[in-house]
Amino acid sequence: MGDVFRKLGSLAISGVWQLGFIARFFVLILRYSGQSFMRLHLTIRELYFSGVLSLLIILVSGLFVGLVLGLQGYEILQRYGSSEAMGTMVALSLLRELGPVVAGLLFASRAGSAVTAEIGLMKVTEQLKAMDMMAVNPIARVVAPRFWGGVVSMPLLAALFSTMGIFGGWLIGVVFIGVDDGAFWSQMRAAVDFRYDVLNGVFKSAVFGVAVALIAVFEGYDCVPTAEGVSRAITRTVVSSALAILALDFVMTSFMFRGL
């Protein structure tokens, strides 16, 4: 019996310790961000690796998600004779939920894991220690640019994902099925509100960007400096990013979209 409680206690303590460590790490990143922005090309390089190289998977998945939404939406809506509402359905589901969430999940597994692996391997080969010895702050030199690269790319990628999805829905609805083009766009415009739907979606994706980037750099920096440790850190990045995205999404949705 005592064993169970001891285990629970150690679990709780290590959980709280981890949380505090992440928070302190976050504050450190923010503190050294100014220093890392002095050499902006470091951040631009990370924007390339996290953002530009994720473009292909984001665009292709966005297109396919939109195509599927179009097909399924038409299947259901035509039963009620309102297949023109397809545009509304595709746009709202993408802008509010699917865009930020699916782009976030893809971003975590495509870019977040790469960042963790990179920083973890730097730790294994003691590059981070070497930087410290040379009076180069590894947080300003390595961690902060990767963090900001993720934070900036994420909302842009989510917007591109939603745009491609809407294009996919349009392709299925208007081009293949033959829903009226004007009705498709005008019903969409009538139902989608800029502040309520678009800005809330952008805000969501920005929050996911901070969460994924923070988890990725933290897991890399915190990993056990062995081959096995790095592989575990990468797994943890993907798993905890996915959980964080879905949990944060639920919390934000319940605050943003309460049906007024």
Partner 1 sequence: MSRTTLDLWVGVFVAMGIAALLFLALKVASISGSDIRSPYTLSARFDNIGGLKVRAPVKSAGVLVGRVTEIRYDNEHFQAEVVFSVDGRYKFPTDTFANILTSGLLGEQYLGLDPGGEEKALAPGDVIKKTQSAVVLEKLISQFMFNKAADGEQAPAK
Which parts of this chain interact with partner 1 (CB under 8 A)?
41, 44-45, 47-48, 51-52, 55, 91, 95, 153, 155-157, 159-160, 162-163, 166, 185, 188-190, 192-198, 202, 259-260
**What whole-number distance in Å separates Cα of residue 71 and Cα of residue 53?**
29
Distance of closest approach, residue 95 Cβ to partner 1, in angstroms: 7
Query: Nearest distance from residue 14's CB to partner 1, in Å?
Result: 39
Q: Is 259 helix (H, G, I), strand (E, B) or coil?
A: coil
Q: 3-state class of 180 per DSSP?
A: coil
Q: Per-residue b/e over 15-53, b at no fewer than 16 CB within 10 Å?
A: eeeeeeeeeebeebbeebbeebeeeeebbeebbebbbee
Exposed, middle or buried by CB within 10 Å (0-12, 13-18, 19+), for 229?
A: middle
Least distance (Å) between residue 67 CB and partner 1: 17
123 or 146: whose CB is closer to partner 1?
Answer: 146
Q: Kindly tell me which of 138 and 201 has the beta carbon lying closer to partner 1.
A: 201
Give the residue from 161, 171, 170 showing the smallest Cα distance to 99.
161
- Exposure string for 75-89, b = 16+ CB within 10 A, e = fewer: eebeeeeebbbbbbb
Give the nearer residue to partner 1 in terms of CB position, either 120 or 168. 168
- Closest distance to partner 1 from the beta carbon of 194 (Å): 4
- Decide whether 6 or 189 has the Cβ nearer to partner 1: 189
- How far apart CA 73 and CA 69 sit, in angstroms, is 6
DSSP per residue over 58-92, as a string? HHHHHHHHHHHHHHHHHHHHGGGT-GGGHHHHHHH
User: Of 82 and 235, which has the nearer Cβ to partner 1?
Assistant: 82
Q: Cβ 139 to partner 1, closest distance in Å?
A: 22
Nearer to partner 1, 188 or 223 (CB): 188
Q: How far is the CB of 233 from partner 1 (least distance, A)?
A: 27
| Nearest distance in Å: CB 156, partner 1 | 3
**Residue closer to partner 1 (CB basis): 45 or 141:** 45
